[in-house]
Chain A
Amino acid sequence: QSVLTQPPSVSGAPGQRVTISCTGGSSNIGAGYDVHWYQQLPGTAPKLLISRNTNRPSGVPDRFSGSKSGTSASLAITGLQADDEADYYCQSYDNSLSGSPFVFGTGTKVTVL
């Protein structure tokens, strides 16, 4: 059961900007824990996209950016391209006594129109 909430889908035309929200609570994002983002292309394993809220690993285009504020975080994709079509997941740490210490978002499917 996902603790972090994301919109099921977002879409945009090539070249446009889209954003994906990730809403948590006081035991995870609101407690100050970092948010990380993963991209899962169809039929492949997830890949790290953004670490520690805003950091892009080597090889990730600067069209991808992350931010965090309060109990939420966001992933922005600018200059949308066809090969950005994928599922995107946020992830954080949770300190509540029940549940898992590592929590994922519900996932967002990005469609390029």
Chain B
Amino acid sequence: EVQLVESGGGVVQPGRSLRLSCAASGFTFDDYAMHWVRQAPGKGLEWVSGISWNSGNIDYADSVKGRFTISRDNAKNSLFLQMNSLRAEDTAFYHCVKDDWGDFGGYFDYWGQGALVTVSS
């Protein structure tokens, strides 16, 4: 059974940093691209960042480019999102999401429950 479990969420002041982690199990992690998708409370879905199976292809939404960094550790079946210079508008549930393919262009076949990040003074 595929499981994606996020951790590292919490309340942080504007301008500060936070690092999210995602522990993956139930599939061959290093065969697939992974993504972070966020959802502000009561709002729609927004793709944040993605990384291919070997970290050779990485991309970000314009809204987080230059502030967020995605990475993965295939040996530990883990995905990460380093979030710097956080803003109030970054407040959301952050979902760890598995792609159905090794590179970009597939669909999102499994989702974690999400980690809540609240940016507030």
A interface residues (Cβ-Cβ under 8 A, vs B):
2, 34, 36, 38, 44-48, 51-52, 57, 89, 91, 93, 98-107
Contact = CB atoms under 8 A, between A and B. Distances in A.
Contacts of B32: none
Interface stretch (B7-15, B18-26, B45-53, B74-82): B45-53
Interface residues of B, number: 22
A67 to B, nearest CB: 16
B47 A48 contact: no
For the complex of A and B, the 10 pairs showing the least CB-CB separation, nearest first, are A102-B47, A36-B107, A45-B111, A104-B45, A107-B44, A100-B61, A51-B107, A48-B109, A100-B47, A45-B113
B95 A45 contact: yes
B59 interface: yes
A105 B46 CA distance: 9
Interface in B72-112: 95, 100, 104-105, 107-112
A21 B83 CA distance: 34
A112 to B, nearest CB: 21
